[in-house]
Amino acid sequence: MKKVCLISLGCSKNLTDSEELLGNICAEGYQIVQDETKADIAVLNTCAFINPAVKEAVSEIKALIKLKNAGRLKKIIVCGCLVEREKERLKKKFPQIDSLVSTKALNKINVAIRKNGAYLKSSGDLLLSPDYKVRLTAKHSAYLKIADGCDNLCSYCLIPALKGRFRSKPMDMIVNEAKNLVKTGAKEISLIAQDTTNYGIDLYGKPVLTQLLKKLIKIPGLKWLRLMYVYPERLNKELLNLMKNEKIICKYLDIPLQHISDNILKAMNRKSTEKSIRAKMAEIKKIIPDISLRTNFITGFPGETEKDFQKLLNFIKEIEFNYVGIFPYSKEKGTKAFNLNPQIPSKIKQKRVTLLIDAQSAVVDKLNDQMINKKARILMDTAACGRTFGEAPDIDGNFLVESKKKLKPGTFVQIRIIETAGYTRKARIIK
């Protein structure tokens, strides 16, 4: 049988799409190989929401074309967001590509392998659970995509154009998918979407994330349920109280805020204001004092004055987030912000990014000092390192664990934190 290699680029949502692609490919009986130089067919699942991601995808395509021109590869299939962004233009640019598959037509992958062409149309608007799936994460920790697309239309973001309108997966399908993940070894499930807090708005007429969580926490064997990509304005008291009272739900929130200055939030078409964000942060910390907070900020957005920037810098120092992603604004064709002025020179953008990173590093050092000698329960990701409920897989810090006995990935252990350096902490096992 022919050998297929899948290369997955981009975010955790793309990773779950790659799991679905691989599931379909395996179901057809193809042999999966890790190394594209040993494959007959290469499937590349791309990301394209900002220019650097496009560059990464294009350089992967060029590398695969080199293998094909050398007679090492027979077919190249390109999937994902770059296909959405470029459509057929991609094939004109790179005629060596055999097929294109859009993010909405993942179940067409086997047809695309057999018959060259462009498979861009979705087979219906409903987002369904994949028939087949091959997990690409550690056995004990899985991502579960509960919705796709987005209706928030932030002015700098291409995702609504790439992924389409917000579409939720039916609740019973999600519960079944979660049960299967637990059956295949998952102790931790991270719920993902572009905006998890809007879950159900299209199918049930209102967001029903809390109802979904109440069903998922009943699954025997599930130890940790984690919420990613929360939209601040939709995070309500009911959800926070459920997080507070249910041990299985990690006291962790990934809540991208993007900025704090009202001028910029308005220009970004964010529904938040400085006042609403501050009130939300206070409410979260009041209801769940030991919450671990991750957020993202964009600096250098068109029109960002020194005063706007100082507001953001002071906000980071004041709130003391556990984890912060800091990004320079990326001017993307097809977004509303593309035509906004004044655009900020990249030198100033970079300087602002550096200042924000320095401020966050100082916060991390302070939070780290408070951790020393503290006890914690961690989930081992490997024999040597693990995470508390306060760290999401792949993007946050971890703990290197000293232990005389060999530790197993997927097990929970008690530790005492002995040393810290940035996002890597050292700990000793206590039980």
Residue 151's CB: how many other CB atoms inside 10 A?
Answer: 14
Among the listed residues 182, 194, 169, the one whose alpha carbon sits nearest the alpha carbon of residue 141? 182
Residues 142-171 that bind ligand SF4 (CB under 6 A): 150, 152-154, 157, 159-160
Query: What are the backbone angles phi and psi of residue 408, rounded to the nearest 5°?
Result: -105, 135
Q: Are 21 and 43 in contact (CB under 8 A)?
A: yes
* Helix runs in 28-145, H state only: 51-69, 81-86, 89-93, 109-114
Name the residue nearer to ligand SF4 (CB basis): 119 or 143. 143
Residues 223-262 that bind ligand SF4 (CB under 6 A): none
Name the residue nearer to ligand SF4 (CB basis): 42 or 257. 257
Q: How many residues bind ligand SF4 (CB under 6 A)?
A: 9
Minimum distance of ligand SF4 from residue 52's CB (angstroms): 16
Name the residue nearer to ligand SF4 (CB basis): 149 or 410. 149
Name the residue nearer to ligand SF4 (CB basis): 157 or 181. 157
Name the residue nearer to ligand SF4 (CB basis): 323 or 389. 323
25 binds ligand SF4 (CB under 6 A): no
Sheet holding 249-254, edge to edge: 141-145, 188-192, 224-227, 249-254, 292-299, 323-328
Minimum distance of ligand SF4 from residue 49's CB (angstroms): 8
Spatial distance between the Cα atoms of 250 and 293, rounded to a whole number of angstroms: 11
Place of tokens 């912000």: 337
Minimum distance of ligand SF4 from residue 423's CB (angstroms): 24
Name the residue nearer to ligand SF4 (CB basis): 258 or 388. 258
Q: How far is CA 346 from the centre of its chain?
A: 26
Among the listed residues 49, 54, 53, 109, the one whose alpha carbon sits nearest the alpha carbon of residue 79? 109
Q: What is the 3-state secondary structure (H, E, C) of 202-244?
A: HHHCCCCHHHHHHHHCCCCCCCEEEECCCCHHHCCHHHHHHHH
| CA distances in angstroms from 218 to 85, 187, 207, 228, 304, listed in the order given | 40, 13, 20, 20, 46
Minimum distance of ligand SF4 from residue 176's CB (angstroms): 26
Minimum distance of ligand SF4 from residue 191's CB (angstroms): 15
Minimum distance of ligand SF4 from residue 231's CB (angstroms): 6
Residues 176-195 that bind ligand SF4 (CB under 6 A): 194-195
Name the residue nearer to ligand SF4 (CB basis): 20 or 195. 195
Minimum distance of ligand SF4 from residue 384's CB (angstroms): 34
Among the listed residues 235, 232, 194, the one whose alpha carbon sits nearest the alpha carbon of residue 213? 235
Name the residue nearer to ligand SF4 (CB basis): 195 or 254. 195
Residues 26-65 that bind ligand SF4 (CB under 6 A): none
Binding pattern to ligand SF4, positions 101-140, x when CB under 6 A? ----------------------------------------
* Helix runs in 253-321, H state only: 262-267, 274-287, 306-319
Residues 190-219 that bind ligand SF4 (CB under 6 A): 194-195
Name the residue nearer to ligand SF4 (CB basis): 103 or 107. 103
Minimum distance of ligand SF4 from residue 371's CB (angstroms): 31
**Site for ligand SF4, rule CB under 6 A:** 150, 152-154, 157, 159-160, 194-195
